[in-house]
Structure 1
């Protein structure tokens, strides 16, 4: 039984070697990969994804192509342009194709003579870049101005339909914690889901001045506006306290005269006995304002 099994296996191996040594003609699909697309053109999704290779070779080579399926890289910078297509003539690049596919064109040939790649001319425009940067400051630190980008807009090109729908593009998300010094760095533009577009710049710089901040307060009189003529209105409290954050360097430049707090009598709903106080004037360099009291009680004297 062992002898029989040995000769049976040996015969099978010999048969396989004989069969694979024979010459066959086989049609094989070679996948295409495109590189160096012109920046002013958008390649259509309907571009050919393969060419047909008629391969005449022994079974071992054909089996190799069937298993590993090597692809062909098409350099579009070497293609000829027509009205609607880029034309890549295969016969003009036979040596490159032979080197990539490891074939001999004396025994094989590509069925297609040329590859037609449809395209559309791209439209260009400047698109605003929005910072997607979350800044958490260390205790006692803050910033007077938001994060600034440089450049704040980038040139984008792509199919007209897509370009016309794009208004802004965000940066990738960055989260910065316990910040206590000026920000200065580089962030990538988030181009995910925008593969049809070409960005002339893929990164922008971000900046922000970070300073030591302190909290201040000021007692401000409440002004009531739009009170009907002849209406005797009494309200309480007459003053409120405004709390604010300010750059330590600007602390001495803030005074109570820089603020104005008002209540609009016209905004009072029927049956209410209070008005809402609002800050309508303040210095431009302070932030995080709040009032110790927003509800101002009132009565009408007869």
Structure 2
């Protein structure tokens, strides 16, 4: 019986001791956090309302230093949640290619944002100096990145058109002088069987310092019913030396083409020309490459059934 009582007493003592230990620790933490401290805290800044004719430099200050005199709870809050400060550059003055934002002139706005009393705390910097460059305007050619796959029997005679095909941008002179064009975002269209008429955004990746007057352009294309045709043509060999007896095979090839159904009857074999240039033959080769040098303007997707033309030189 004596042994059991001692064990119960010891367990009870440990629980009591642990309770008072935890309680003491909590009280100590509360006391410490209730004390007033002075800490230097970096407050990130965002810049708003930059003048339209100016581009602010990447070397602008990224933060202000706040000397905060407050209890530990508030200091802990600022360190953990790290509030940001919005700097309205429309309230800055201009001095020698710099925008100067004076802290003292804007204390009311800063206090409201940071929820601080500047009787006990202060921002170390007296002013925020933001270098700038005057913006330069330029027209950039828009390059379409539109991948089109047509439905069977459909195609287009003309490439995709953009409207506008150029856009105005403004930005730092050093940056804007290095670029001449901007592309659209990648757009993939499949099984197209009707006229295209849509809108696509510009890809401004990496061009964040430029201001675009247009963020998207319209695209158009006339899509029509097409059919495939073919003609057989004699192969013409040019630039063969007069003293060379050249025999080649095949003597003719088949040209396959795609044409608007309305233009099919207007295609004639005489509108095509297939040529092999003997001068282009590399040493040791026994073949020439046939090329289509003439074709009607209204046909497309042209191909040959055979490009390699074998030859032998007769002695």
2:229 is matched with which residue? Answer: 216
Identify which range, 199-208 or 158-167, moves more after superposition: 158-167
**1:74 aligned onto 2:79:** no
Identify which range, 64-73 or 163-172, moves more after superposition: 163-172
Identify which range, 227-236 or 157-166, moves more after superposition: 227-236
Cα separation, 2, equivalents of 1:138 and 1:57: 71
2:275 to 257, 262, 265: 262
CA deviation map 1:68-98 (0-9, x unaligned): 1211011222222222211111222222111
Gaps of 5+ in 1: none
1:207 is matched with which residue? Answer: 220
Gaps of 5+ in 2: 1-12
Q: Is the 8 A contact 1:237 1:296 kept in 2?
A: yes
- Residue 213 of structure 1: CA displacement? 1.0
Say which SS state the counterpart of residue 122 (structure 1) adopts: strand
2:8 is matched with which residue? Answer: none
Q: 1:217 to 1:8 in 2, by over 3 A?
A: closer
**1:64 aligned onto 2:77:** yes
Cα separation, 1, equivalents of 2:246 and 2:22: 112
TM-score relative to the length of structure 2: 0.84
Q: 1:114 to 1:279 in 2, by over 3 A?
A: same
Say which SS state the counterpart of residue 206 (structure 1) adopts: strand
- Residue 212 of structure 1: CA displacement? 1.2
**1:241 aligned onto 2:249:** no
Cα separation, 2, equivalents of 1:240 and 1:73: 73
Identify which range, 10-19 or 105-114, moves more after superposition: 10-19
Q: Is the 8 A contact 1:220 1:261 kept in 2?
A: yes
Q: 1:296 to 1:22 in 2, by over 3 A?
A: closer
**1:31 aligned onto 2:44:** yes
Cα separation, 1, equivalents of 2:210 and 2:121: 38
Cα separation, 1, equivalents of 2:285 and 2:33: 96
Cα separation, 1, equivalents of 2:85 and 2:140: 36
Say which SS state the counterpart of residue 192 (structure 1) adopts: coil
- Residue 103 of structure 1: CA displacement? 0.9
Q: Is the 8 A contact 1:39 1:198 kept in 2?
A: no
Identify which range, 47-56 or 218-227, moves more after superposition: 218-227
Identify which range, 139-148 or 268-277, moves more after superposition: 268-277
2:296 is matched with which residue? Answer: 283
TM-score relative to the length of structure 1: 0.87
Q: Is the 8 A contact 1:244 1:287 kept in 2?
A: yes
Cα separation, 2, equivalents of 1:18 and 1:266: 96
Count residues in correspondence: 302
1:156 is matched with which residue? Answer: 169
CA deviation map 1:190-234 (0-9, x unaligned): 111222322222211111111111001123344444455577766
Cα separation, 2, equivalents of 1:274 and 1:66: 77
Identify which range, 263-272 or 124-133, moves more after superposition: 263-272
1:102 is matched with which residue? Answer: 115
Cα separation, 2, equivalents of 1:23 and 1:266: 92
Q: Is the 8 A contact 1:246 1:286 kept in 2?
A: yes
